[in-house]
Amino acid sequence: MTAVDARPTTAAGLRFPTGFRWGTATAAYQIEGAATEDGRTESIWDTFSRTPGKVRNGDTGDIAADHLHRMPEDVALMKDLGVTDYRFSVSWPRVQPTGRGPAVERGLDFYRRLVDELLGAGIRPVATLYHWDLPQELEDAGGWPERETAHRFTEYAALVARALGDRVATWTTLNEPWCAAFLGYGNGVHAPGRTSDLAALRAAHHLNLAHGSATGVLRNLLPSSAEVSLTLNLHALRPLTDTPADHEAVRRIDAVANRIFLDPVFHGRLPQDLVQDTASVTDWSFVRAGDLEVISAPLDSLGINYYSPSVVSAGSSESPSPWAGAEKHVAFTPADGPRTAMDWPVDANGLHELLTRLGGELPGLPLMVTENGAAYDDYADPSGQVHDPERVAYLHAHLTAVHRAIEDGVDVRGYFLWSLLDNFEWAYGYSKRFGIVHVDFASQRRTVKDSARWYADVIARGGLDRP
């Protein structure tokens, strides 16, 4: 990974370092559509979204933003915006429908065309191997709580690396394994919708194992210049009060939300306080000798996804809970201030806090903000324009926080705005719009929002005005 200047100049507004990577991001199931084309079979999200009551309005990702058919148009939009990087995910069931065996070349061909289109537009492709679309057949065999799924993921990673490794220089193994484990298997609000503390903890470990094993395979198959990374949605945690009880609540959540990934991946160890907190759930015997060595394979960078902070205190959480081992001890309090359409508080300081924490704990490791953005109730006005000043304000505040972290000496190499397009927003269906490009889902017409024009100006200038 090419180094960038450690400290930007700020004489004319907030300038970012030369070589800073300006990107945008999407996920396969949220935008591709074409759910049954080219041999693709069901993922856990196909099954979940078709289960009554699981997704708002009964929405599914069958068509989504129809990106598979409109990919050249979408790449052209990115080129017009001037983004340097595009972070996309590969659909596992499109490439390897059963999660076993050889790749389906028709599925891989879409990603070959996408990568070629990006490179032709001067945009660096950043491939994410897993953004939650586990083949349903693997879930039927036990899913992420089973060790075998990590082995299957490693084989899948090899298929994609062999197909795209000559043209994709940046690879992310997993996106937000916390969500996959604890929302998918803990409180069940995400696919596959299971509710078990034990299943969630087992899934977290096997996701870590899948990441480490796939990292080793990628190192063997990719050119030595390729970058291998992991993306985590780490939680920016604050105690409600300065009491010991509330600080203890923060410790518990930090263990099950953050250090359950950070400690194995970067230090080759399990957090012992987490082991103690979850002793009534498991003895962790599913962690085998040699696992932590595999999991802690060196990385070239760490991706951070951030949207809002969490305020925690002593108390108890509703059941079922994603906080295995902590639900009887911790409560969450809504933060003050403005909120997005997701009812998430807007607080850019949390992003600065996360970046500076990681800069101190993982010195020498480059960081990338791989997702950051906001949903608002956007609409096209009678003239066909989409004005979204709240999103512009949100992005300005968070990019300012990134700049402040860089000034503080944190090695942040890039920023990927979530998201390029309005899309299928998981359990919210099509009711929440994160895109900087508006999608009319009936016609699939794309309309560039004001926030996209603002972001294009930031990229062109290499910076932004001071707050």
Residue closest to 88 by CA, chosen among 370, 368, 422, 402: 370
Q: Which residues are catalytic?
A: 176, 371
**Residues sharing a CB contact under 8 Å with residue 277, sequence separation 6 or more, in sequence order:** 252, 255, 256, 325, 326
How big, in percent rounded to 5, are the helix, strand and coil portions of the chain? 40, 15, 45
Residue closest to 402 by CA, chosen among 463, 324, 314, 316: 463
Angle between helices 260-267 and 197-221 (to 10 degrees): 30
Cα 178 to Cα 185: distance, rounded to the nearest angstrom: 10
Helices (H) and strands (E) in the chain, counts: 16, 15
Residue closest to 173 by CA, chosen among 52, 90, 276, 75: 90
Structural Rg of the chain based on CA atoms: 21
Geometric angle at alpha carbon 129, from 362 and 112, rounded to 5°:
130
Give yes or no for a contact between 89 and 129, defined as CB atoms under 8 angstroms apart.
yes
Count CB atoms within 10 A of the CB of residue 463: 21
Cα 193 to Cα 184: distance, rounded to the nearest angstrom: 5
DSSP structure string for 232-256: E----EEESSSSHHHHHHHHHHHII
**Residues sharing a CB contact under 8 Å with residue 135, sequence separation 6 or more, in sequence order:** 41, 42, 43, 44, 92, 93, 96, 97, 98, 99
